[in-house]
Amino acid sequence: MYDTIETETQGRVATIRFNRPDQLNALNTQVMEEVLAAATGFDANPDIGCLILTGNDRAFAAGADIGELAVQTYTSMQASDFFAGWDRFAALRLPKVAAVSGYALGGGCEVALMCDVILASDTAKFGQPEIKIGCIPGIGGTQRLTRLIGRARAMDMILTGRMIDAEEALQMGLVSRVLQPDALLGTAQEVAAQIAGYAPDIVSMARSCVNMADHSTLEAGIRYERQMYHALYGLPAQQEGMAAFLEKRKPRFHRDPEQ
């Protein structure tokens, strides 16, 4: 069905795997369009509760496809709003977990930053090396990276183009866990399944509140959080979750697939 990605589902978890191994999973327009098409389909499926985005052992994605970029002009970039499809991917409601091994450079790093959780194997290498080829990050790197790791560290990475390893990425707060390569996908599946097992509307509220911290003052963010907290009362998920706690049973947030 797709030429540049592979997809699969396991329970309530969907996986999209970049599949251009000869190009170290470099991101071109076809990759963007296929990822967006697959992810949009999963986002619309009520039986899918979380998405894993991954690559292979050598590379998550080693950047944008320079062969495609080198022939562009200002006019062509503006006319097509180049890279805009990635904005639509980032805006999908489905929670996303990035499982990163090998290179996550340039656009690859930027796409990982669009995910809610980034898990890295100890072989992972992150970087924004665009400045080395007379360019700058163009898929949100200057904005998301700065919000995530702070201005000083983002400036260091973007202005020098240096790569950082998984341990430094963990220290910076760019990733949440560093794992052995053979444990990466299994852990990603466990994390995604746990997220997918909760009530989608409550997961959406939690994500919205965390993301609000990037765009508001502390006072406004706390007020927004409190509004969301008040709003969840009366939702079926809140009623079921608290009833299950009091009754000492597992909550039933999803319909039984055999019913």
> Is 85 tagged catalytic?
no
Residue of 61, 130, 140, 166 with catalytic role: 130
Catalytic option among 102, 106, 107, 140: 107
Residues recorded for the chain: 259
CA neighbours closer than 13 Å in the CB half-sphere of residue 139: 26
- Which residues are bridge partners to 5 per DSSP? 18
Can you tell me the distance from the alpha carbon of 180 to that of 168, in angstroms, rounded to the nearest whole number? 16
Catalytic residue among 26, 38, 61, 64: 64
Give catalytic status of residue 240 as yes or no: no
Q: Would you call 107 a catalytic residue per the annotation?
A: yes
What secondary structure, in 3-state letters, does the chain show?
A: CCCCEEEEEECCEEEEEECCHHHCCCECHHHHHHHHHHHHHHHCCCCCCEEEEECCCCEEECCECHHHHCCCCHHHHHHHCCCHHHHHHHCCCCCEEEEECCEEECHHHHHHHCCCEEEEECCCEEECHHHHHCCCCCCCHHHHHHHHHCHHHHHHHHHHCCEEEHHHHHHHCCCCEEECHHHHHHHHHHHHHHHHHCCHHHHHHHHHHHHHCCCCCHHHHHHHHHHHHHHHCCCHHHHHHHHHHHCCCCCCCCCCCCC
Residue 237 CA to residue 254 CA, distance in Å, equals 9
- Whether 64 sits among the annotated catalytic residues: the reply is yes
Catalytic residue, chosen from 34, 59, 98, 110, is 110
Cα–Cα dist 66/189, whole Å: 32
Which amino acids are annotated catalytic? 64, 107, 110, 130
